[in-house]
Structure 1
Amino acid sequence: MLETQNIFKIHNPESYLQIEAGVNADKIQQLEETVEILKEQVESLKLELCYRNYELKEIKQELNYANQELCAVNEFYATSSKLVSSNEVKELAKNLLVEKSNKAVL
């Protein structure tokens, strides 16, 4: 003969939890309250996660802007140093020409 297992649905009609026969009503109520607390904690953690993701997106955007600014500054300095180098080369060339022409005159 097969034994049938007595299973009772807990008091909350939205719950899919099932409790075996023999569990007293106080225990069922305590479990339902624990489940509700855990559901609230999960919702709270979901909200916090959404907020943290939003913060992360903002930080990534700020880093992107900072990186763009640094690239622009680096490009400016690279261009400036090339200009300075070019000016230095021109000055050196002038000095060499002056020296060469002074030697030619002697």
Structure 2
Amino acid sequence: SRTGGSIGKGEVNPDQLQRYIDNGGFWHHAFADDQRYYKMANGAYLDFAVQMGFIAKAEPIVFQLYSEPMQRFRLAARGHGKVQPPEAERGRIEASMD
């Protein structure tokens, strides 16, 4: 609202900068109990995130845990590929690129 009573996207609030100053430069919002956990797949949170403009669609956010560069290092430590690490470092590279 124009008085700053709403949160997220909305009409221009002429007092917005003063509100930030009054709050030490911060804004705080307490999530509802059903929005607090597993935000990447939590329907209630994802709907809220769309309303706030954080994300475009209320779809689960998939984390890609596989890393091709790390796999290449791991494979090189196992002897695959044209570029090979020094023999003394192979165990450390394979262990740390897991």
Q: Which has the higher helix share?
A: 1
TM-score, shorter chain, exceeding 0.5: no
Work out which structure has the larger RCO, using CA pairs closer than 8 Å and 6 or more positions apart in sequence.
2
TM-score where L is the length of structure 1: 0.26
- Normalised to the residue count of structure 2, the TM-score between the two structures is 0.27
Larger radius of gyration: 1
The answer to which structure has the higher strand fraction is 1
